[in-house]
A and B are shown apart, each in its own frame.
Chain A
Amino acid sequence: MGMTMTEKILARGAGRDTVRPGDLVLAKVDFAMGHDLTIPPAGKIMREQMGAEKIWDPERVAVTQDHFQPAKDAASATLGRLTREFSQQMGIKWYFEVGQGGICHTVLPENGLVLPGELVVGADSHSCTYGALNNFATGIGSTDLACVLALGELWFRVPETLKFVYHHRLKEWVEAKDLILYVIGQIGVDGARSKAMEHTGEALKHIDMEARLTMTNMAIEAGAKNGIMEFDEVTREYLDGRAKRPYTPVTSDPDAEYEKVFEFDAEKVELGVARPMSPDNYAPLSEVAGTRLDQVFIGSCTNSRITDLRRAAAVLENHKVAPGVRLIITPSSHQVAIQAEREGLIRTFLAAGAAWTTATCGACLGGHMGVLGEGEVCLSTTNRNFPGRMGHPKAQVYLSNPAVAAASAVTGVITHPSEVLDKMPAGLA
């Protein structure tokens, strides 16, 4: 019996020829990540409780200052300082200071730090993002991270794999975000609980790497352990000149065993949103169009890479944000911000009346720079809209793609982008 990509990576990490779903393995980790909320507890546990003085491999760890940084208050400044000091003391090679990095899940792929065939862990639930680059990547806790930092190994339960096959291709205006929101709407927020989501099919061939990262990013919103995609030309092109280490892609065997295979016709997927207050509360855009908004947020590890910002700018060009609405745009990394500046996107945003912020997780987790008050309604390009995620538990959050968000900021209500822009320019569609 063959193995899936996920099983092969875990087997290699565990030094075994084969593994089966349900096996508990101790596996070597290829790369690990932590940030300003998870490094301080992990560092403390590693040094004070586990008694480790140094980390297993300073070249295979990345640390970002992204969640509450630039420090939103004195307590966050302390967490930032502990994160900085730990990184310096441990000699961590891939430390990204405020103003030089950004959100972990954009920073690691864009710097070629997470590669095909690798076993990657991150002390953040959206670490599953990296799987679009043909690796096994999963979110872990702080005690887990302390263990990895000390030993370079961690325990894993080999997950069952669910296969998602996408036939045909997405229609005009419909983005990878709409597809993944639709899928989560179909299977539910626990539909892939503790399992691997393997995405494949014709539609993916036409989805670029940044949009693929949007899809694997949201695996956790279906409860999955990881999201993973095949290695192809799109992967190779993205990694050329970027990859920091040699890598070996992995493929699923033709006779690999899947717990279930889901087939979707990508062509039939409509532009959509997740309604409050759960990411699986999918609705076609037509059902929620006209909903009045207080805030629109374009940001996060899900949908604020350069291609996302290009689409948002295309919609906002020569338009103004509607009175009574505020539009906040947070690039997901410093490199994305530099590129947005080069291309003149920031000028478009500022002219439209948007607030442009530094790269941070910021409003997505109700941290800072766009936290919602009681009863406020927000359309957000982020990943999660459980009660209280972006601030007050009685705030209402809708999730969408960036073009819908931009169009809705122009009209003040949830709006199809075609009402603001005739056609998405070639190359951005």
Chain B
Amino acid sequence: MTLPKTIRGRAWKFGDNIDTDQIIPAKYAIYSLDEKELGKHAMEGVPGRETWASQVGQGDILVGGSNFGCGSSREIAPVAIRGAGISLVIADSFARIFFRNAINMGYPILQSPEASEAIEEGDELEVDLEQGIIRNFSKSNEYHSEAFPPFMTELLRMGGLVPWVRKQLEERRRQKPAASG
């Protein structure tokens, strides 16, 4: 699965320090292998957002504040957000494990303090993932996201860590017979 070049969607706005137990309360960890079920409960732990997941349209964009996804290492946090239909997460900054989990899943995230600050709930956005440009049609404005190091961009393009590991394993298998023979 490779990334689309552009993503269009409606913005949902969240605050600072949204932690993983708010993104997906731990009680739903029993559904760790069921993305759809996790998606139904995404962001349920954020006060006032108990029924949020049912309002999300396929392809909508989630916009968070600083330190988005702090707390647990459970990968079900980005999985639940993806399961809810969100196509992209933009934030002022990400907590590190959420950040690596998203990259490893090949799930697009963008870090942009100016976008996080300016975008309001309901704004219509178009995001050019390759250029890192976020266009806000509702405000006739555009913002830039911070570039990731090349290896992370490469992982995202490949579709995450899974295809990368497959390639590594194939190389090791090819080298093994040669080494023993």
- Closest chain B CB from A151 CB (angstroms): 6
**Which residues in B have their C-beta under 8 angstroms from that of A140?**
73, 97, 100
**Cβ-based interface call for B136 (8 A):** no
- Contacts of B168 on A, CB cut-off 8 Å? 150-151
Interface status of A388 (Cβ within 8 A of chain B): yes
Is A193 touching B21 in the complex (CB atoms < 8 A)?
no
**5 further contact pairs, Cβ within 8 A, besides A151-B168, A278-B17:** A52-B165, A223-B95, A386-B17, A388-B45, A393-B46
Q: Is the CB of B165 within 8 A of A147?
A: yes
Tell whether, in the assembled complex, residue A393 and residue B100 are in contact, meaning their CB atoms are under 8 Å apart: no
Q: How far is the CB of A222 from chain B (nearest CB, A)?
A: 10
Identify the closest chain A residue to B168 (Cβ): A151
Partner of A40, one of B32, B93, B99, B104: B32
Give the interface residue-count category, chain A. Answer: 35 or more
B70 CB to nearest A CB, Å = 6
Residues of A within 8 A of B152 (CB): 24
Closest-by-CB residue of A relative to B165 is: A50
The number of residues on chain B lying at the interface, defined by a beta carbon within 8 Å of a beta carbon of chain A, is 45
Known: A51-B169, A144-B161, A366-B26. Is A193-B96 also a contact (CB below 8 A)?
yes
- Mostly, the B contact residues are helix
A41-B33, A67-B29, A386-B22 known; A150 vs B169 contact (CB < 8 Å): yes
B169 touches A24 (CB 8 A): no
Asked, given contacts A125-B97, A144-B101, A387-B47, whether A37 binds B21 with beta carbons under 8 Å apart, the answer is no
Please, which residue of chain B has its CB at the minimum distance from the CB of A22? B149
Q: A150-B165, A190-B95, A393-B45 are contacts. A141–B75 as well, Cβ < 8 Å?
A: yes
The tally of CB-CB contacts under 8 A between chains A and B is: 145
Q: Are A146 and B165 in contact (CB under 8 A)?
A: yes
**Which residues of chain B are within 8 angstroms of A394 by Cβ–Cβ distance?**
47
Q: Are B104 and A75 in contact (CB under 8 A)?
A: no
Instruction: Tell me whether B31 is interfacial, beta carbon within 8 Å.
Output: yes
Give the distance to chain B from A112, nearest Cβ to Cβ, in Å. 24
Contact partners of B31 in chain A: CB under 8 A? 75
A365 at the interface (CB under 8 A from B): yes
Q: Does B166 count as interface, using CB distance less than 8 angstroms?
A: yes
- CB-nearest residue of chain A relative to B25? A388
> What residues of B have a CB within 8 angstroms of the CB of A141 in the complex?
73-75, 97, 100-101, 104
Partner of A223, one of B29, B96, B165: B96
Answer yes or no: B27 CB below 8 A from chain A CBs.
yes
Q: Mark A296-337, 1 if CB is under 8 A from B, else 0.
A: 000000000000000000000000000000000000000000
Supply 17 A–B pairs (Cβ within 8 Å), ascending by A: A37-B29, A45-B162, A50-B169, A52-B165, A122-B73, A125-B72, A139-B73, A140-B97, A141-B73, A146-B162, A150-B168, A151-B169, A190-B95, A367-B26, A386-B21, A387-B22, A393-B45
- Inter-subunit contact A50/B101 (CB<8 Å): no
Residues in B neighbouring A76, C-beta threshold 8 A:
30
For the complex, give the distance between the alpha carbons of A376 and B29 in Å: 23
List B contacts of A60 (CB < 8 A).
none
> Nearest chain A CB to B47's CB is how many angstroms away?
6
Residues of A within 8 A of B46 (CB): 387, 393
Q: Answer yes or no: A166 CB below 8 A from chain B CBs.
A: no
CB distance A143 to B32 under 8 Å? no
